[in-house]
């Protein structure tokens, strides 16, 4: 009875274990992982050293492109997925140690779609094993993407019998990912807008196409700024040959609404092959990262709008006991840290030039050119109204009268004036005419519109 009872117990236990294994999908589905890796190396894979490198999240697409290019040199290269277990928390060493017990098997490759431009995306490998030969040595590369849900960091881990081969592979991966970077030649910001093409906090924007004749500035002003940005870029090789520096800083200053941002948009469009990093408002905190991206993706422009938000004179802060902004020193370090032959432009705008830190505005090599974007004169105001009314058809006399009545106003005012005239006509049920422009001018110049004029930048 005892023997029979033991046998029945063992049989029941065996059936229970088999049922548990059957119910565990990771234990039965897919090909065991470790034998595949052992076959690739011709020796136990879990006994080889692992070399890894962390990857900045905004470089993930670049690394994906570069790693695919390196692996594809081997016609027998394979990309395997990993199924089963909580693999996101494990290093490659841990993963193989658990694979020995059948916990991990070959599965589907995890992929993550990320933006690589304003209108394009790439399905990158978020978790996968690359098996290929490199420098005549079999290698295994685990490509692991950033996974905030599981607390995982973006990294690549390399296994090969010779650690120096792994180091050589990682070095080429860094070099090739920079060469093929999706950020190069793009217009990017750190807004992380979920409604735009973003990649880990970086948003790609379409490059503006703003012709010079749509930028209304005092005579010679735009030419002066263009020569420092576009002209210098076009002659960079001649300057380098003569030992002249390319790094430069430009400050556009003037009242709000006079066209500083408009000028910046024109300059960005005039250098189509240049990498542009846009910073404004709360995103100015990324000035250090912006400088690093610019250095790595030359030629580049770093735009800091309303830079006085971080570069206000320390005396102004001292009146309130606040001290200088830490970002000021980050900005100064970023501008000083670039080599003289770095083809990088720091393009700054401010409404309050008088409040700027003297260490920024007056030290040679930081800001080489400061250009005032003033309130438009009568001729400029006529040109601005004509520009914004190009599709409307107001008469010259009506435009001149509206311009004469708007002394001390900005380009923003001219734009709003034309919009109101068109709206006035639409509400009246007829095509816009000179009387509508006059009515809009009278409305904006009335005593009840003082605050509106101020908001539009009127003096």
**114: number of Cβ within 10 Å:** 22
For residue 347, the SS3 value is: strand
- Confidence (pLDDT) at 368: 84
Q: In a 10 Å sphere around its CB, with 0-12 CB exposed, 13-18 middle and 19+ buried, how is residue 299 labelled?
A: buried
Tokens of 232: 């210098």
Residue 61 contacts residue 124 (beta carbons within 8 Å) = yes
What's the CA gap between 111 and 143, in Å, rounded? 10
**256: number of Cβ within 10 Å:** 16
Q: How is residue 312 annotated by DSSP?
A: B
Tell which residue, 186, 187, 183, has the closest CA to residue 278.
187
pTM, rounded to two decimals: 0.81
Dihedral Cα 126, 128, 133, 138, nearest 10 deg:
130
Per-residue pLDDT of the chain (459 residues; tens, 9 = 90+): 446 666 666 566 555 545 554 444 444 456 788 888 889 999 988 888 899 999 988 899 999 999 999 999 999 999 998 876 666 667 777 777 766 655 667 788 999 898 999 999 999 999 999 999 999 999 999 999 876 665 568 899 999 999 999 999 999 999 999 999 999 999 999 865 555 555 667 899 999 999 999 999 999 999 999 998 988 888 778 877 777 777 788 999 998 888 999 999 999 999 999 999 999 888 888 888 888 899 999 999 999 998 877 766 555 544 434 455 677 777 777 777 667 678 889 999 988 777 676 666 556 567 888 899 999 999 999 999 999 999 998 999 999 999 999 998 888 899 999 999 999 999 999 999 999 999 999 998 886 766 676 667 665
Residue 139 contacts residue 166 (beta carbons within 8 Å) = yes
Q: Which domains does the chain have, with CATH numbers?
A: 25-179 (no CATH), 188-372 (3.40.50.300), 378-455 (1.10.8)
């Amino acid at each position: 009875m005892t023997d029979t009872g033991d046998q029945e117990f063992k049989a029941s236990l065996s059936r229970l274990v088999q049922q548990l294994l059957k119910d565990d999908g990771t234990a039965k589905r897919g090909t065991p992982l470790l034998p595949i890796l052992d076959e690739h190396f011709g020796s136990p894979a879990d006994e080889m050293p692992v070399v890894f490198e962390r990857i900045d999240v905004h470089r993930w697409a670049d690394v994906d492109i570069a790693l695919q290019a390196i692996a594809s040199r081997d016609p027998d290269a394979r990309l395997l997925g990993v199924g089963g277990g909580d693999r996101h928390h494990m290093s490659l060493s841990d993963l193989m140690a658990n694979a020995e017990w059948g916990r991990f098997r070959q599965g589907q490759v995890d992929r993550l779609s990320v933006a690589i431009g304003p209108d394009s995306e790439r399905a990158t490998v978020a978790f996968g094993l690359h098996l290929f030969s490199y420098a005549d040595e079999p290698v295994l590369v685990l490509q692991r993407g950033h996974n905030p849900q599981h607390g995982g960091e973006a990294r690549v881990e390399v296994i090969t019998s010779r650690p120096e081969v792994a180091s050589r592979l990682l070095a080429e991966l860094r070099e090739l990912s920079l060469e093929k970077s999706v950020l190069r030649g793009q217009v990017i910001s750190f807004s992380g807008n979920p409604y735009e093409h973003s990649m880990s906090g970086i948003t790609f924007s379409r490059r503006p196409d703003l012709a010079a004749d749509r930028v209304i500035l005092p005579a010679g002003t735009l030419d002066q700024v263009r020569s420092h940005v576009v002209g210098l870029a076009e002659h960079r090789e001649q300057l380098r040959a003569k030992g002249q520096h390319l790094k430069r800083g430009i400050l556009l200053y003037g009242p709000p609404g006079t066209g500083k941002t408009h000028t910046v948009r024109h300059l960005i469009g005039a250098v189509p092959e240049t990498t542009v990093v846009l910073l404004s408002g709360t995103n100015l905190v990324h000035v250090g990262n912006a400088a690093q991206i610019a250095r790595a993706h030359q030629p580049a422009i770093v735009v800091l709008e309303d830079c006085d938000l971080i570069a206000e004179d320390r005396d102004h802060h001292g009146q309130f006991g606040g001290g200088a902004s830490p970002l000021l020193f980050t900005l100064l370090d970023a501008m000083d840290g670039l080599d003289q032959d770095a083809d990088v432009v720091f393009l700054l705008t401010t409404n309050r030039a008088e409040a700027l830190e003297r260490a920024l505005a007056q030290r040679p090599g930081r800001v080489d050119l400061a250009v005032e974007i003033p309130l438009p004169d009568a001729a400029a105001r006529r040109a601005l109204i004509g520009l914004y009314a190009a599709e409307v058809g107001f008469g010259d006399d009506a435009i001149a009268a509206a311009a004469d009545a708007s002394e001390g106003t900005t380009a923003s005012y001219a734009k709003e004036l034309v919009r109101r005239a068109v709206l006035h006509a639409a509400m009246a049920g007829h095509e816009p005419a000179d009387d509508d422009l006059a009515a809009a001018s009278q409305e904006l110049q009335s005593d009840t519109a003082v605050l509106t004029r101020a908001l539009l930048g009127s003096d």
